[in-house]
């Protein structure tokens, strides 16, 4: 099925269809649509643990060479209840949780310090799939963060020092000159972990798996925690 996607993307018929949706000056998005036919999701396909199904889908997304297959949209809310989203990279997971790394003074971190509820979303639409995660985020221990920080390329480590993420800055050149300055400063030593850089473990409360089907009769299943296990239900698409 994944191969079908790749062939379809390279297929001239697809390119022709895409051209047909273009008008002289703009893309006619109203006319843009396609049928979802690559796969299906039956109750028999569900694993006991949702993360086992997630892992299977993630492996397929990587095998299909989707760009940034581990990128997930992370949604948080501010104190007024205004939701914000941004992409972050999934860096690890186990059966209970998912991990990502970020700046602890960033907007998302400020939101999470007031309200740890978070939603993650994997938009694997090239495979006619999406996965939604609901959970609670808690900050990772320094030991945990340090291990990951030390595995990053040196320039990324320096960038963690340079970028006071989400704060206002005067210009790009200010950012670049600070980068060069810090590169020089740390030239003899390992780059230390900034106290304002860290990560979050999202403990999963619910997960929803969506697989596109023909005629918009898609498959959707939600896993919700029930005792020590999971309750699974099919949802209308
Ligand atoms: C593909 C992609 C991956 C990203 N990965 C991360 C990440 O792992 N951690 C991170 O802090 N920001 C990452 N970013 C940048 C975030 O989307 C965002 O701009 C930044 O974290 C600031 O968000 P905030 O101001 O809402 O806190 C990524 C952006 C893209 C497009």
| pTM score above 0.75 | yes
Domains annotated on the chain, with CATH: 1-34 (no CATH), 35-234 (2.30.110.10)
Residue 112 Cα distances to 11, 73, 200, angstroms = 44, 15, 10
Q: Which residue lies with its CA nearest to atom 3 of ligand 1? A: 88
Q: Answer whether 84 contacts ligand 1 (Cβ < 6 A).
A: yes
Residue 231 Cα distances to 45, 79, 223, angstroms = 15, 31, 6
- The segments of the chain whose pLDDT lies below 50 read 6-7
Q: Which residue lies with its CA nearest to atom 4 of ligand 1? A: 88
Taking only the tens place, the pLDDT of each residue in 118-152 is 999 999 999 999 999 999 999 999 999 999 999 99
- Rounded-to-integer distance, Cα 146 and Cα 193, Å: 7
Ligand-binding annotation for 151, yes or no, is no
Whether 216 is catalytic is: yes
pLDDT at 105: 98
């Amino acid at each position: 099925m994944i191969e079908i996607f790749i062939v379809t993307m390279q297929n001239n018929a697809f390119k022709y269809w895409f051209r047909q949706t273009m008008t002289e000056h703009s893309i006619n998005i109203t006319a843009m649509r396609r049928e979802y036919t690559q796969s299906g999701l039956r109750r028999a396909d569900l694993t006991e643990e949702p993360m086992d199904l997630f892992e299977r889908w993630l492996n397929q997304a990587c095998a299909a060479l989707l760009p940034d297959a581990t990128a997930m949209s992370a949604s948080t809310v501010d104190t007024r209840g205004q939701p914000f989203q941004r992409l972050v990279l999934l860096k690890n997971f186990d059966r209970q949780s998912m991990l990502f790394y970020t700046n602890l003074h960033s907007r998302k971190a400020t939101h999470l310090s007031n309200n740890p509820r978070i939603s993650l979303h994997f938009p694997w639409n090239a495979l006619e799939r999406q996965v939604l995660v609901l959970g609670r985020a808690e900050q990772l221990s320094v030991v945990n963060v340090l291990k990951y920080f030390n595995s990053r390329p040196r320039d990324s480590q320096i960038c963690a020092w340079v970028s006071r993420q989400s704060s206002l800055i005067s210009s790009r050149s200010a950012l670049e000159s600070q980068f060069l300055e810090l590169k020089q400063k740390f030239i003899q030593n390992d780059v230390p972990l900034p106290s304002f850089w860290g990560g979050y473990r999202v403990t999963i409360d619910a997960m929803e798996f969506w697989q596109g089907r023909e005629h918009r009769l898609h498959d959707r299943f939600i896993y919700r925690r029930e005792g020590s296990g999971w309750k699974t239900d099919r949802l209308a698409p």
